[in-house]
Each structure stands twice: as structure tokens, then as C-alpha cells.
Chains A and B, each alone.
Chain A
Amino acid sequence: MLKGAEIVLQCVRAEGVDLVFGYPGGAIMPLYDALEGSGIRHVLTRHEQGAAFAAEGYARVTGKVGVAIATSGPGATNLVTGIADAKMDSVPLVCITGQVRSAMIGSDAFQETDVFGVTLSLTKWSRLVRTIDEIPQVIAEGFHWARSGRPGPVIIDIPTDLLKAKKEFSGPVPVKFTPQARPAGAKAEGAFTDTIVALLQRAIRPVALVGAGAKLSGAIPELRRLLDDLNIPTFATVHGLGAVPPRSTYYLGMVGMHGTRAANTALHETDLLLVFGARLDDRVTGEPTRFAPHAKIVHFEIDPAQLDRVRACELPVIGDLAETIPAFQGALLHASLPDWSNWRAVACGSERAEVDPRGLAQPTMRFLDELFSRLPPDNVVIADVGQHQMWAAQRYRSSSPRGFITSGGLGAMGFALPAAVGAQLAKPDTCVLCVSGDGGFQMNIQELATVHRLGLPIKMVIVDNKYLGMVRQWQQLFYERNYAETDLSDNPDFVEIAKAYKIHGWRLNEAAMAEFPVSSETADLLENFLRSPEPELLVFDCAPEANVYPMVPAGAALSEMVFEDE
């Protein structure tokens, strides 16, 4: 006879999970009681939101399912932001929550929350377990849906009495869940390759846009071969960074609100846009009605629900990129395509290059360049949300598909530090660089305790402008400098905070970036910071009113970028 909690853990282990993140509490106590000897390592975060983000960080760098555990009521609701984040950014996440006793459900019992109902619109799939017999099937099905198709979050809510109940269980034989097939007629039929080739043959200014789906599909080698063959101007969304080697002659960098001049201009001018695994959200398109106004769009996408959210496409290609890209490339073998060299020369030419490629006018960009250039080859950069996030995305130059991680769709401040915990645990030998702002860092600052407890050698950077910088930038540009409630000039001393958590802290002022190259003293500081085998925190004090440029103002087309303060 096994307890329900033991069955849960055996089933989770059978899904290949050996690491989970969580925070104990009343209703989930039976599961914690069964952890020892289960073969699953549990990492205690200091807040349930930290557990969800840590599980996301683990999932994002590995492609495996991340698992977060919490108790009922506030424990479960504290997971919600992480669940929403996983939904937006297609992260496979399974959250297991304790629930009050079955007999008490619906009675507003102590720490009862209808987390199943709360998360219905945020999860890909969810279950409130009703009997102990259901547990193996529910766990297997939950993991299946979390990782299949477009990955996403799943919540499994288990009443505490079922975790304590006992039943005969045959052992750790994994339940094989087989989804019921959908009717064949539910998808439109038809070959697409001939149509794309025909569109390409008529195109004068074709471009390619690469998003997160390219990474999630695991089709990066196939995509790179295809792009090499096409040799057309190519750019990436923030989640597509790293999918295309940045030194490719046809690569124009990041597109969108803070994208490069070359990428946004080419996107505005194109007459044929090939989209690979991006959902064309509003941060990518600018004003939707003026997005790629001359283009026909071919949209490669695994999730039909992502089509036509912002802009209609002429040819949706529904399927896994791992299947559709090779099919596309196969068709190109026998196709004669136009010579696009003139278009490529214009789109990739020096007239559209970055105005300040060394970032000399922007100390934080210089700082990030200096930092990134010293990273060991095996690295992961995790950015929080705000100005520093966009600066980091603009300066990121790696070709590692899972090397740049951020909360892109939801834009959840506080993401980076706990996500770095998950990433570092997943990749203990990788240099994990966590870049936060002073606002976001304080949203999950308690995870410094987790970093210290586990001795994780995360390199934490706080870009401290003593403002909620991105909001302040918008207040400056669009609200007549009414800096309402964005002033953080009374920030604590982060180096002292780190010291309280027994983590070594460093401080660097932006004046150190005035020299080019930087002084040997600054260079040594950065080297020592990155090479340390311990967790380290570096505070970079920067100008309070620095802005992120280029910028496409809200309501403007991508071609209407702003490059500097008026």
C-alpha cells in the first residue's frame, strides 16, 4: 500500500523529473513528508512565485518540464504569475498544489482557493483530482500536455486527504498517456511548399522573422540551413535571439519596439514575410494596421490559436517546424529563385547600421558589452523586465539558442533572479548571468537566500538607475515628465543587502565606462566578478534618465523609430 503522496512522486519521477521547486504548507504537507527517498530533489525557494519562476528557468534552459509545488490558498495563488508567464512564453511547467480536504472543498475552508478556477484561462490543461485512483493518469496526462505541441503550463490540484490516503500501487511503471485523436477534417489539407516557392519567385524584398518556436521545435540546425540557402534579410524576436548566428551576413538583429533600425526598416519594406515560430505580438508589430504594409505573410506556427491575433497572414503553415522547415527546404532544391542581392545590399547595408555600434554614448550598453564579451563560451544570460532587459537584448551577440532568457510575453518583473536559480541548477557548469533592474530585483530579492543556501555561482547584475526606468522613460516621452511613483531614489544599498545574505557584492559606476577600452582596474573587476566560483552581485550605478533607443512609440509603425531624446 502506498500513500497518494508517494504515488504522486513516483509518477512524477517516472516522467523523468529529478528536481522540483516549491514551498511547503498545510495542505501539501503529505507530499513533503514523502519526498525523502523519492529520488526527487526539492529546492526550497523563499516564495512560491520564486518556485514557479525557478521551474521556468529550469525548463527554459533545458527544454524539459519544470515542476513547482505549493500549498493551497495563498501558496497556490502565488504561483499564478509564473503560470501566466509560462503560458505567454510557451514554457512546459507542471504545478502541483495541495488543496483542502475533499469534504471541505467549496466551504471557504482555511487556505481554500479555487486555484483550478483561478487558472483556467492561464493553463493549457488542469485537473482537480477527485480520487486517489486518478493520480497516475492525471500526472501522466498533465506532463503530456505540458510538453506537447506548443508547450505550456499545467496545474494539478490534489486535496490533502487524497495525498494521505492509501491504495495498492503496482510501482514505478510509468503510465503511458495516449491522447485521443482529433477528427482528420479538423485541419485543412494541402501542400504548402509549392505556394511558398511561388510566393518567393514573385518576391522582390523577402525577409525572414525568427521567434521562440524555432528554439522550441529543436529545429535550429534545419532553420539555419534554410536561412543560409535563402540568404534573405533575417531578424529575430526577443525570444528568437540566439537562433540565428549573429555574424550571419543576412542577420539584422532584433526586431520590434526596441529593435534595430535595419530590422525594423526591412520589415516595413518587405513584400514577403516568412515567420518562423513567432506569434507577431504587438511589441513586434508596432501599430498592427501599419505592420509590414506591403507584405504577404507566410506564418509557420504550431499553434493555430496564434494565427491572426494581430495581423492576418496569407498562408498559415500549421505544424512543428521540425517537419515544415525540412519540407520547405526540400522544395527549394528544385526551385529557381530570384537574385535578391540588391535588396540584401540595401537592407543589410551600412546606411542602416547602428548609429553607435560601440554604444559609446550609452554607458549601460558599454557595460553590457564589456560584460558579455568576457563571458565564457558556455553561458546563459537571464534578463528581468525593463530598460536593462532591452539593452541586454540589443547587445546580446551569442548564437546559443537557449542562451538568452527573459519574461517576454508577460513582462513579469522579478522573473530573473529565481529563473537564474533554476537555470544554474539545470546547468551547474554554465556561467549564468542574471541582469536585473533595481525595481525588478526587489520583487524577488528574497531568493538571494536560495542562492546562498545552495551556493549557486550565479552572477547577478543590478542596473541601478534608481527609477522604474522603462515606466519613467514612457512618462518622460508621453506623460510630460510626470514621474508619478517611479522614483526609487531611496533604494537600499544592494551591496549591503547582499552582504546580509552572505553574498559578496561589487559596485561599479558608469563613469568607469567613459574610457574606451575600459581601465585595467575595471577590466579586472569584471573578470573577477565573472570568474568567481561563488555567487556574486554587481551593482552598476547608471544615469537615472537614460533611455532605451531605438524606440517605436506606441501607436507608431516600425518605420517611425525614435533614435534619441528630442
Chain B
Amino acid sequence: MQVFHIRYRNVQGTLMRILNAISRRALDLTSVHAEAAGQDHAVTVQLEATPKQIGQLYREWYGIVDVIEVRSSVTPPQQGEPEWAPLPPGSAVAEPPVRAASA
């Protein structure tokens, strides 16, 4: 089970775009929790996804105009404070990328 914590600006449609990235892949959501987080909003979603889908979800969420940050954990929040970590923008593959890069 993967848990994603997404911080976003709470403007029209942003939360729906975040959730749509999940539904268009026919993934079932175990839980969704959205709330204000300071000046922004945050949504925590819990779902089962393959490593490839995780990479795709991360990159698709990051591509949404008003998404600020995406973090992930494999530990459900109920079992203690998760170890949040940013995902790489590159591939989520069995073999790690040579090096993710940007210009």
C-alpha cells in the first residue's frame, strides 16, 4: 500500500485533477483526506499501485499547474509517522536511473 501526500493550491479543479490521475488508471483509493495546510491545502491518498504507476502518478501530479509538492511513503499513517520522501522525476524502474537530471 502506498501513501501519497500532495500539497496544492486550493483553486478550482486541482483536487479533482489529482484524483483523476488515479481514477483514469482504474486504481482503487483506500482513503482520501484533504484539508487546509497553512496557506495551501494538502491531500493524503492511500492506494495500491505498481512501481511504474507510482512513477506515472508522481509525474502526472507534478504536472498539474497548482500542485506544489508530492511526497510518498509506503507506510500508512495509521501505523505511525510515515517516512515521507520525494520521488525522483525520472523512471520508477527495477534498475535505478543512471542519474536524473534537469537543465
**Residues of A participating in the B interface, judged by any CB pair closer than 8 Å:** 116-117, 120-121, 124-128, 145, 179-180, 182-183, 185-192, 195, 199, 296, 303-309, 312-320, 323-324, 327
CA distance in complex: A503, B102 (Å): 52
CA distance in complex: A504, B17 (Å): 48
The answer to whether A126 and B12 have CB atoms under 8 Å apart is: yes
Closest A-B pairs by Cβ, 4 of them: A192-B101, A319-B103, A188-B100, A312-B93
Query: Which residues does chain B contribute within 8 Å of A314, judged by CB atoms?
Result: 91, 95, 97-98
The answer to whether A323 and B103 have CB atoms under 8 Å apart is: yes
Please tell me which one of the listed residues B56, B63, B65, B89 contacts residue A316 in the complex, with CB atoms under 8 A apart.
Answer: B89
Query: Which residues does chain A contribute within 8 Å of B86, judged by CB atoms?
Result: 185-186
Query: Which residues does chain B contribute within 8 Å of A189, judged by CB atoms?
Result: 102
CA distance in complex: A125, B103 (Å): 24
Q: Chain A residue with minimal CB distance to B55?
A: A308
The answer to whether A304 and B101 have CB atoms under 8 Å apart is: no
CA distance in complex: A120, B63 (Å): 14
CA distance in complex: A125, B88 (Å): 24
CA distance in complex: A313, B96 (Å): 10
Please tell me which one of the listed residues A120, A127, A317 contacts residue B102 in the complex, with CB atoms under 8 A apart.
Answer: A317
For the complex formed, measure the closest distance between the CB of A333 and the CB atoms of chain B, giving whole angstroms: 17
Please tell me which one of the listed residues A120, A308, A316 contacts residue B13 in the complex, with CB atoms under 8 A apart.
Answer: A120
For the complex formed, measure the closest distance between the CB of B63 and the CB atoms of chain A, giving whole angstroms: 4
CA distance in complex: A305, B91 (Å): 10
The answer to whether B90 and A307 have CB atoms under 8 Å apart is: yes
Please tell me which one of the listed residues B9, B17, B63, B93 contacts residue A304 in the complex, with CB atoms under 8 A apart.
Answer: B63
Q: Assuming the A-B contacts A192-B103, A304-B89, A308-B90, are A315 and B59 also in contact, with contact meaning beta carbons closer than 8 angstroms in the complex? A: no
CA distance in complex: A324, B100 (Å): 14
Query: Which residues does chain B contribute within 8 Å of A312, judged by CB atoms?
Result: 52, 91-93, 95
CA distance in complex: A183, B56 (Å): 20
Q: Chain B residue with minimal CB distance to A308?
A: B91
The answer to whether B101 and A195 have CB atoms under 8 Å apart is: yes
Query: Which residues does chain A contribute within 8 Å of B65, judged by CB atoms?
Result: 124-125, 145, 179
Query: Which residues does chain A contribute within 8 Å of B24, judged by CB atoms?
Result: 121
Query: Which residues does chain A contribute within 8 Å of B55, judged by CB atoms?
Result: 307-308
- Scoring A189, A316, A324 by chain B CB atoms within 10 A of each residue's CB, the highest score goes to A316
9 additional contacts (CB under 8 A) given A120-B20, A190-B99, A313-B90: A121-B17, A125-B65, A191-B101, A192-B103, A308-B52, A308-B59, A314-B95, A316-B91, A316-B97
CA distance in complex: A24, B47 (Å): 45
Q: Chain A residue with minimal CB distance to B86?
A: A185
Query: Which residues does chain A contribute within 8 Å of B52, judged by CB atoms?
Result: 308, 312
* Contacting residues of chain B (1-47) with chain A, CB-CB under 8 angstroms: 9, 12-13, 16-17, 20, 24
- Scoring B52, B86, B95, B102 by chain A CB atoms within 10 A of each residue's CB, the highest score goes to B102
CA distance in complex: A106, B60 (Å): 29
CA distance in complex: A309, B56 (Å): 7
Query: Which residues does chain A contribute within 8 Å of B88, judged by CB atoms?
Result: 188
Query: Which residues does chain A contribute within 8 Å of B12, judged by CB atoms?
Result: 116, 126-128
Q: Does B68 contact A (CB under 8 A)?
A: yes
Query: Which residues does chain B contribute within 8 Å of A318, judged by CB atoms?
Result: 89, 100-103
Query: Which residues does chain B contribute within 8 Å of A324, judged by CB atoms?
Result: 103
The answer to whether B63 and A315 have CB atoms under 8 Å apart is: no
Please tell me which one of the listed residues A145, A180, A190, A303 contacts residue B101 in the complex, with CB atoms under 8 A apart.
Answer: A190
- 19 A-B interface contacts by CB (under 8 A): A121-B17, A124-B65, A126-B12, A145-B65, A179-B65, A186-B62, A187-B102, A190-B102, A191-B101, A192-B101, A195-B99, A307-B59, A312-B92, A312-B95, A313-B91, A314-B98, A315-B101, A318-B102, A320-B103
The answer to whether A307 and B89 have CB atoms under 8 Å apart is: yes
Query: Which residues does chain A contribute within 8 Å of B62, judged by CB atoms?
Result: 186, 304-305
Please tell me which one of the listed residues B13, B69, B99 contacts residue A116 in the complex, with CB atoms under 8 A apart.
Answer: B13
CA distance in complex: A195, B86 (Å): 23
The answer to whether B99 and A305 have CB atoms under 8 Å apart is: no
For the complex formed, measure the closest distance between the CB of B16 and the CB atoms of chain A, giving whole angstroms: 5
* Contacting residues of chain B (55-75) with chain A, CB-CB under 8 angstroms: 55-56, 59-60, 62-63, 65, 68-69
Query: Which residues does chain A contribute within 8 Å of B89, judged by CB atoms?
Result: 187-188, 304, 307, 316, 318
The answer to whether B16 and A120 have CB atoms under 8 Å apart is: yes
Query: Which residues does chain B contribute within 8 Å of A188, judged by CB atoms?
Result: 88-90, 100-102
